[in-house]
Amino acid sequence: MRFIYIVFFIFTVNVYSNPLQDAIDRSTSYSTIKLSSGIYNGNIHIDKPLNIIGIDDNVVIQGDLNGSVVTIRSDNVTLKNIIITNSGDKAYTIDSAISMKNSNNSTIEHCQLLNSLYGIDMFMSNNSIIQDNYITSKNMPISLKGDALKIYYSNGNVFKNNTIKYSRDVTLNYSNDNIFKNNKFINNRFASHISLSNNNKFISNKYMHNSVSIMLAGTKNTIITNNIIQSSKGAAGIGVVILGVSNFNLINNKISFNSKAIYIDAKEKIKGMKRYIKYNEISYNKEAIHFHQTIKDNTIMYNKFFANIDDVVKDKGSPFNRNNKIEYNYWDRYIGFDKNKDNIGDTSYKVYQYADQLWQYNHKIKFFYASPIMTLLNFISKLAPFIKPNLIIEDKAPIFQLSSPFLLPH
């Protein structure tokens, strides 16, 4: 049977010493240090199982603008209800509000991480909980900021109810089985960048005003569901970037007001179904889906596409690959009939590239986008085509009316 000894410390700060570090050094494993309101010197090291809890508001652990403010090198460490601020600004040493290395089963809860280059640097730290925190970076150009969460070789962690603002990225590298739930990502660069990491889940998060909300590269078995992804900004302005994924599931999300809602880079030589895009609302974007290279290995079903400037864009001229399953989507541009009243269009919904979409291949032509001459060329091409237009995508069973009580098949 394990006994947990409770150590209660409330003390005033002596600028010539570090009483918090002294308390940590004197504490036995699994003790609890309780801090009253005040400013405590940072650059502390925790090398044993320990709980540090702020029992009042305005409990501040303040660094000296060098290195990391709190360094954790033990399992079973809890930090709760603390403001942690003033790390160093050196990227090559990963100066962080909290540096966690080889720390398992730890908890960071109800903390504010402020004026720090990196928020939490997790290296080989597993099965921990990061929840109800506010994380931001230093006031500097976004390219010079650090990551709000830098997760490296760390598995089985839960990140929930956090607010991450004005940081550079949240990165997962070689990190599996992590869950992100009910977080807010606001005004970051790559709000969630997942690379070479498998079996991760992103559930019910809100992404707003990021340059790229979610980017995946070399991942397997990723689930992104019930998220709001909107108003991506800047030259890219992309909701979801999908590069080299396997068994990727984008399900029941709302993706709106982005330059590009979904960007897919698929390789011609790779075989097998890779992407499952289902039950999403994709609306009010400049481009709903942008394909780079080839369109293949996609299951796109039960989605609602409306109020987008372009439903589908393809920036290279290879033909539509039939190795796709695309049906039961609602497209507000669909023109057709529903004679048997089953709310499925009697003809396919096909997206072609006509003359006014040549800008997709040559961006210099984009200057003439929506001009009268391009609109006229497009109309003539549809009325009496003198060249065969390029088929981009075909939905063989489009939903006829969005407002109908028709139940989508599962």
111 versus 320: which is more confidently predicted? 111
- Residue 16 pLDDT greater than 80, yes or no: no
Which domain CATH number covers 136? 2.160.20.10
Per-residue confidence at 297, pLDDT binned at 50, 70, 90? confident
Please tell me the total number of residues recorded for the chain in this structure: 410
Q: What secondary structure, in 3-state letters, does the chain show?
A: CCCCCCCCCCCCCCCCCCHHHHHHHHCCCCEEEEECCEEEECCEEECCCEEEEECCCCEEEECCCCCCCEEECCCCEEEECCEEECCCCCHHHCCEEEEEECCCCCEEECCEEECCCEEEEEECCCCCEEECCEECCCCCCHHHCCCCEEEECCCCCEEECCEEECCCEEEEECCCCCEEECCEEECCCEEEEEECCECCEEECCEEECCCEEEEEECCECCEEECCEEECCCCCCCEEEEEECCECEEEECCEEECCCEEEEEEECCCCCCCCEEEECCEEECCCEEEEEEECCCCEEEECCEEECCCEEEEECCCCCCCCCEEEECCEECCCCCCCCCCCCECCCCEEEEECHHHHHHCCHHHHHHCCCHHHHHHHHHHHHCCCCCCEEEEEECCCECCCCCCCCCCC
pLDDT at residue 381 is higher than 90: no
* pLDDT of amino acid 382: 56
pLDDT at site 294:
78
pLDDT value of position 328: 95
> Which residue(s) pair with 274 in the sheet?
none
- Say what the pLDDT of residue 293 is: 75
pLDDT of 9 above 70: no
Quick one: pLDDT at residue 292?
A: 85
Identify whether the C-beta of residue 394 lies closer than 8 Å to the C-beta of residue 350: yes
Same domain? 265 vs 374: no
More confident residue, 173 or 233: 173
Together in a domain, 149 and 272 = no
Q: Are 261 and 341 contained in the same domain?
A: yes
Q: In this model, does residue 104 exceed pLDDT 60?
A: yes
pLDDT score at 364: 53
Q: Is pLDDT at 403 greater than 90 in this prediction?
A: no
Confidence at 318, pLDDT banded by 50, 70, 90:
low
Point out the least confidently predicted range of 83-97, 133-147, 252-266, 318-332. Answer: 318-332
Tell me the CB-side half-sphere exposure of residue 396, using CA atoms within 13 A. 5
Residues 8 and 144 in one domain: yes
pLDDT category, 12, cuts 50, 70, 90?
A: very low
Name the band, by pLDDT with cuts 50, 70 and 90, for residue 6: very low
Please check whether residues 265 and 380 belong to one and the same domain. Answer: no
Same domain, 402 and 285: yes
pLDDT digits (tens, 9 = 90+) for 54-98: 999 999 999 999 999 999 999 999 999 999 999 999 999 999 999
Residue 354 CA to residue 358 CA, distance in Å, equals: 7
Q: Is the pLDDT of residue 368 over 60?
A: no
Percent of the chain topping pLDDT 70: 82
Provide the percentage of residues in the chain whose pLDDT is more than 90.
73
Residues 6+ apart with CB under 8 A from 373: none
Q: Which carries the bigger pLDDT value, residue 385 or residue 274? A: 274
Residues 362 and 405 placed together within one structural domain of the fold: no
Residue-wise pLDDT for 158-208, tens only, equals 999 999 999 999 999 999 999 999 999 999 999 999 999 999 999 999 999
Asked if the model's pLDDT at residue 281 lies above 60, the reply is yes
Instruction: Judge if 365 and 333 occupy the same domain.
Output: no
Q: Is residue 382 part of a domain?
A: yes
Q: What is the pLDDT of residues 211-228, one digit of tens each?
A: 999 999 999 999 999 999
Quick one: 267 and 372 in the same domain? no
Model pLDDT, residue 10 = 47
Whether pLDDT at 387 is above 90: no
pLDDT of residue 8: 47
pLDDT at res. 296: 82
Name the band, by pLDDT with cuts 50, 70 and 90, for residue 320.
low
pLDDT at 1 (0 to 100): 35
More confident residue, 39 or 410: 39
The verdict on 39 and 125 lying in the same domain is: yes
Residues 180 and 256 reside in one and the same domain:
no
Which residue range forms the structural domain that includes residue 330? 237-354+390-410
309 in any annotated domain: yes
In this predicted model, what pLDDT tens digit does every residue of 105-153 receive, in sequence order? 999 999 999 999 999 999 999 999 999 999 999 999 998 999 999 999 9
- Whether residues 350 and 363 fall in one domain: no
Our count of domains for the chain comes to 3
Residue 295 has a pLDDT of 81
